[in-house]
Structure 1
Amino acid sequence: MENKICPNTRMNNKCKDDDCCIDTYRIYDSCRYQECMSNLRIFLCGDGQEILDASSNVRVKSIKVVWTQITTDEVPFNRGYYEVNIRYS
């Protein structure tokens, strides 16, 4: 197997066998739609619980992703194309 060079790494390290380089200029996405998230664990800051208890409706201004699980699958009818699924919480 030939060694792959990852051009965007600082020290130009060689990729491991289970790693892959992604040409980000050729990503075609279908994730531009908004998703409704429900049943997620949240961590409130400061006096957030008191504000939440006194509220009837909540609108989120910003979030921080704590954990992600990224999986890739080959697209069976397009050689060289992959489906990337990112589950986050």
Structure 2
Amino acid sequence: MRETLKALDLLFRLSALFLVSTFIPLLLGIWLDRTMGTAPLLTLLLMVSGIILGTIAVYRVVAEANQRLANLKSPDLSAPKSQPRDDARGGE
């Protein structure tokens, strides 16, 4: 159940991130085009830049989630391994 909630949280974050990064520049471009009379130049420019930036942001979130998942599944390789002591080998 907890894994399902984490997956849904990630899905919601990715959806919201992509939608916000796409539609805010789009709406800003529409408003600027109407204000300055440059339609559809700024709308297209800001929409394309929003899509590109949204894609990059989604990629980073997915890469971070994959890294966290990999860290949970693999043992900590940076921890020093215990070495047998000399007296435990049956030496002098």
TM-score, structure 1 normalization: 0.20
Answer 1 or 2: which has greater helix percent.
Answer: 2
Larger radius of gyration: 2
TM-score, structure 2 normalization: 0.19
